[in-house]
Amino acid sequence: MARGTGATSGTGTTSGTGTTGGEARGRRVAIATQTLRARVASGEWPVGSRIPTEPELCELLGVGRSTVREAVRALATLGMLEPLTARGTFVRAATPSPALLTDSLAAYDPVELVGLRRALDVDAAQTAAARRSSGDLELLEAELHDETARLRAGDSRDAASHCSRFHGIIARAGGGRLMADLDAALASAFRTAGLDERIASGTDVAVRIDEHDRILTAIRGRDVGIAAHLMALHVDAALRSVSHEPVVTELTTLVASPRSPRTRPRSARAS
Helix (H, G, I), strand (E, B) or coil at 175: coil
State the DSSP H helix or E strand holding residue 176, giving kind and residue range, or none if neither: none
Contact status: 29 vs Zn ion (CB under 5 A)? no
| Residue 245, CA distances (Å) to 115, 207, 229, 231, 241 in order | 12, 21, 20, 19, 10
Find the radius of gyration of the CA atoms of the chain.
20
**CA-wise closest residue to 128 among 5, 32, 216:** 216
Helix axes 224-240, 205-220, angle to 10 degrees: 160
In the complex, the smallest distance separating the C-beta of residue 163 from Zn ion, rounded to whole angstroms, is 3
Is the separation of the CB atoms in 129 and 224 below 8 Å? Answer: yes
Residue with smaller CB distance to Zn ion, 27 or 157: 157
* Site stretch for Zn ion (CB under 5 A), options 32-40, 106-114, 159-167, 193-201: 159-167
How many residues at the interface with Zn ion, by CB under 5 A? 1
Choices 6-14, 17-25, 82-90, 158-166; region in contact with Zn ion by CB under 5 A: 158-166
Nearest distance from C-beta of residue 176 to Zn ion, angstroms: 19
Smallest separation (angstroms) from Zn ion to the CB of 237: 9
CA-CA-CA-CA torsion for 206, 108, 95, 164, nearest 10 degrees? Answer: 0
- The distance of closest approach from Cβ of residue 215 to Zn ion in the complex, given in angstroms and rounded to an integer, is 8
User: Is there binding between residue 163 and Zn ion (CB under 5 A)?
Assistant: yes
Query: Nearest to Zn ion by Cβ — which residue?
Result: 163
CB of 10 to Zn ion, least distance (A): 36
Q: How far is CA 138 from CA 48, 78, 192, in A?
A: 10, 25, 29
Per-position x/- string for 116-155, each x denoting binding to Zn ion as judged by CB under 5 A, each - no binding: ----------------------------------------
Residue type (1 letter), 115: G
Among 130-138, 161-169, 181-189, 220-228, which window interacts with Zn ion (CB under 5 A)? 161-169
With respect to Zn ion, which residue has the nearer C-beta, 163 or 193?
Answer: 163
Number of helical H runs and strand E runs in the chain? 12, 2
CB of 170 to Zn ion, least distance (A): 9
Please say which residue, 163 or 233, places its beta carbon nearer to Zn ion. Answer: 163
Residues that bind Zn ion (CB under 5 A): 163
